[in-house]
Structure 1
Amino acid sequence: MRILIFSTAYLPFVGGAELAIKEITDRLSPGEFSFDLITLNLDGKQKAEEQMGNVRVIRLSCSKVLFPFRASSRAIALHQEKPYDRIWSIMASYGGFAGLFFKRRFPKIPFVLTLQEGDSFAHIYRRVFFIWPLFKMIFTRADHITAISNYLADWAKRMRATCSVEVVPNGVDIQKFEYGMSLPAEASAQAGNIEKEEIRKKIGIQKEDKIVITTSRLVAKNGVGDLIEAMQYLPENVKLVILGTGSLEESLKSKVQSAKLEKRVQFLGFISNQELPQYLHIADIFCRPSLSEGLGISFLEAMAAGLPVIATSVGGILDFLTDGETGLFCEVQNPKSIAEKIQLLLSDGVLRTRIIDNAGKMVRERYEWQGIAEKMKNALTGSM
């Protein structure tokens, strides 16, 4: 089966959607599937065409606004050379428009749309209100829709999708986030402790310090400013480590300086996906007080790494977080509430252990990539 994927971004630019494409296509047999992916050459430094795993990646040098037109035009030419059996658009955005334009030219080719959006629906509307009827057609012309959470699946139905809609979440590479899975238990624990101490020493964390960590794009929706403010209500030995970059980085650093929290808040910048587990392992708590989330793969990765999680009850987070069982909910945009939940996890060992155990079991049962790849395989090959 030949499948053409439209995605605004792809590796080496890694986000939840891009990682999902790779994890899923890597697990589908090249004997059964042939994947072409059309994307943007975002930094102008990537190869125009290359094979990455099971995917032939075709990069276009143009603006995001022009991408739907250029991508659909290129896809039409490729289809006329060797026909595709399915088209698969990642997100109802530029890639979604590319899929829509292709579908209008070849209406008999099934169009699969995957929703990975993390922004609030109000934010999305502000970006597309002037072409709202055309935007809605991404949903109404799709032949099958998968969404990474029930929250996004409900959105598809509200957008008047007439096709079948199912939840196929993003997954977690469980072995990567757990300590030394290939080592005996004693050796694994020893290696893990040495690694933790080396990293804590490297970034100046003392033995008595308690570490709250967040992995976030530094943008408004992730609530990092609220998390910084929460530090003012916590003991001096509670430190915050922030992984990630984004448009609000400088203003967040100014907030830290204004609150005189420079010794308690560290910005470590971009950390690669391969390095991420070892930084999670140095922490005591993961917290991201989001204003909106499509799913929140960072929370699931933290759970797999054995951290108790604090989150807000928004969007797709409700699919996996049960308050007091697989994590704790704090209030949206309420630094005092965030601080109270952090303090609760630091002081109540029984609660902490229960949450870690329940969350770890839940992630292993529901969010392992192989099972998710099988669901996506069925979505791509099913009758439409």
Structure 2
Amino acid sequence: MNIGIFTDTYYPQVSGVATSIKTLREQLERQGHNVYIFTTTDPGVDKNIYERNVFRFTSIPFVSFTDRRIAIRGAHRALHVAQAVKLDIIHTQTEFSLGVMGKYVARKMNIPCVHTYHTMYEDYLHYIANGKLLKPVHVKQISRSFLQNMNGIIAPSDRVLTTLRGYGVTEPITVIPTGVDLAKFSKADQVDYRKKYAIAADTPLLLTLSRLAYEKNIDRLIDAFVRIKEQLPAAKLMICGDGPAREDLENQVKRLHLTGSVIFTGEISNDQVPHYYHMANLFVSTSVSESQGLTYNEALASGLKVVTTHSPYTDELLDQVCLGKTYSTVDEFVSDVVEYLKHPEKYRNEKVLAQKLKSISAENFGKRVIHFYEHCIDEYQHS
């Protein structure tokens, strides 16, 4: 198949969506398909550098969310390129500029268009005019309008599926969580990276990795870490990532006198990410805004247990204590974290972990998406 992926977010941008698309492209190509990326220009990409099968369209920063971009022109060029490479199907990954462009190209070429709905926008409304311009009802209207007449929709989790059905979306939806490249995360050099941050080998280290945005609720994690240190004084917390909430989080750490125990790494490159998982003893998250838990899967693939917020998705993922736990109260969170740090070997079960990793592997993800494409193409041709 010749597959066109239309996305506003792509490498070198760092996000769950960019990671998901990178993983998908790799798996589709490994299985013999041709993938063409239609995306935005990016200040981090030299215009003179050749990117294989990547076509970038003139863009500007998104309002109040300046590390994300939207294309401002290029629909006719996109159509010309798509016709030249003879696309069989278009897979949009955004509801904005490139997504609209993808729908236009699919209609003109008379080929199916499918979509992955990545983002729970109601968690991000505060970025636009401090939440005064767009309301949840607008998200519902925009989403339903964009998804109308899609030949198929991928929801990364049951939470997304439930949300879209609540919006009144009637198009066919399939739940396919983004997979993880198990080989990439199974091995990494731990020693050098601990030395880099002057962390002793026997220091209990908690890790969280995400964009440092307010909806990630990292402030709750820092507050809870105070109580964890009361029971494990040597424990440290590493916060990987960057974003608009960083300054406030750093100030919170100072107020709580945790400066020597909390490490802010800043943004780290995709290639370095596995090393940070392998430094840690436990992965933690207090976010309530995740539509898909890519970092949870990466942590499991790295051999870490996960403690995170209770939700239908996380409850299903962490369905055995040898994988991790979900919590509903701060008391539960603190108790679970301390228990795992004090007794790491008590909850080890390699057989259960292997079964879980197989289900969340990138290979399995790729196969399921290809089957989804084939079904949508077949349905389209016979409609």
Deviations 1:303-344 (CA, angstroms, capped at 9, x unpaired): 11111110001363344122635311123xx54443222112
Q: Percent identity?
A: 23
What is the 5 A alignment of 1:42-61?
42-43=42-43, 45-47=45-47, 50-52=50-52, 55-61=53-59
**2: CA distance, partners of 1:69 / 1:141:** 24
Question: Once the two structures are superposed, what CA deviation does each residue of 1:141-184 show, in whole Å capped at 9, x if it has no partner?
Answer: 2111112112212223333333321122111111121136xxxx
Judge conservation of contact 1:86–1:111 (CA < 8 Å) in 2: yes
Instruction: Decide whether the 8 Å contact of 2:8 with 2:98 is kept in 1.
Output: yes
Secondary structure in 2 matching 1:113:
strand
1:209 aligns with 2:203: yes
Residue 320 of structure 2 is aligned to residue 312 of structure 1: no
Structure-2-length-normalised TM-score: 0.83
Residue 373 of structure 1 is matched in structure 2 by 366
User: Alpha carbons of 1:61 and 1:344: their partners in 2 closer, same or farther (altered >3 Å)?
Assistant: same
The answer to whether 1:245 aligns with 2:239 is no
User: Are 2:94 and 2:117, in contact at CA under 8 Å, matched by a contact in 1?
Assistant: yes
Taking a change above 3 Å as real, the CA distance of residues 380 and 22 of structure 1, as seen in their structure-2 partners, is same
What residue ranges of structure 1 are gaps of 5+ in the alignment? 181-194
Q: Is 2:328 the counterpart of 1:347? A: no
- Between the aligned partners of 1:37 and 1:179, the Cα distance in structure 2 is 29
Cα distance between partner residues in 1 of 2:139 and 2:249: 34
Equivalent residue for 1:115?
A: 117
Matches of 1:291 and 1:43, distance apart in 2: 31
Does the residue aligned with 2:295 lie in a helix, a strand or coil? Answer: helix
**SS where residue 263 of structure 2 aligns?**
strand
For residue 90 of structure 1, the aligned residue among 90, 93, 98 is: 93
The answer to whether the aligner puts 1:75 opposite 2:78 as a matched pair is yes
Q: Which of 281, 292, 298 is the aligned partner of 2:278?
A: 281
- The superposition leaves residues 181-209 of structure 1 with CA deviations (integer Å, 9 ceiling, x where unpaired) of xxxxxxxxxxxxxx433322221213442
Q: Which amino acid aligns with 2:55?
A: V
| SS of the residue 1:257 aligns to | helix
Match of 1:158 in 2: 166
Contact (CA 8 Å) 2:321, 2:347: kept in 1 or not? no
Residue 222 (structure 2) aligns with: 228
Q: 2:333 maps to what in 1?
A: 338
Q: Which amino acid aligns with 2:115?
A: L
Shift of the 133–120 alpha-carbon distance from structure 1 to 2, 3 Å rule, reads closer
Superposition deviation, residue 26 in structure 1? 2.7
Q: Is the 8 A contact 2:209 2:295 kept in 1?
A: yes
Taking structure 1 as reference, are residues 196 and 92 closer, same or farther at Cα in structure 2, changes over 3 Å only?
same
- C-alpha displacement at 1:277, in angstroms? 1.6
**Residue aligning to 2:8:** 8
> What are the within-5 Å matches in structure 2 for residues 101-112 of structure 1?
101-102=104-105, 105-106=107-108, 108-112=110-114
* Separation in 2, partners of 1:257, 1:216: 21
Do 1:218 and 1:224's aligned partners in 2 also have CA atoms closer than 8 Å? yes
Deviations 1:278-297 (A, max 9, x none): 22112111101111211111
Give, in angstroms, the shift of residue 50 of structure 1. 3.8
Matched, 1:25 2:22: no
368-377 or 118-127, which moves further after superposition? 118-127
In the alignment of these two chains, the number of paired residues is 363
How much has 1:111 moved relative to structure 2?
1.1
Aligned letter for 1:245?
D
What is residue 259 of structure 1 aligned with on the other side?
256
Q: 1:119·1:292 contact (CA, 8 Å) conserved in 2?
A: no
**Letter in structure 2 aligned against 1:372:** F
CA contact (8 A) 1:211 1:239 kept: yes
**TM-aligned CA distance change 1:107 to 1:315, over 3 Å:** farther
**Superposition deviation, residue 106 in structure 1:** 3.0
Say what the alpha-carbon RMSD is for the aligned residues.
3.0
Alignment of 1:133-148 (within 5 A): 133-148=141-156
Aligned residue identity for 2:226: Q
Gap change, CA 1:177 and 1:284, over 3 Å in 2: same
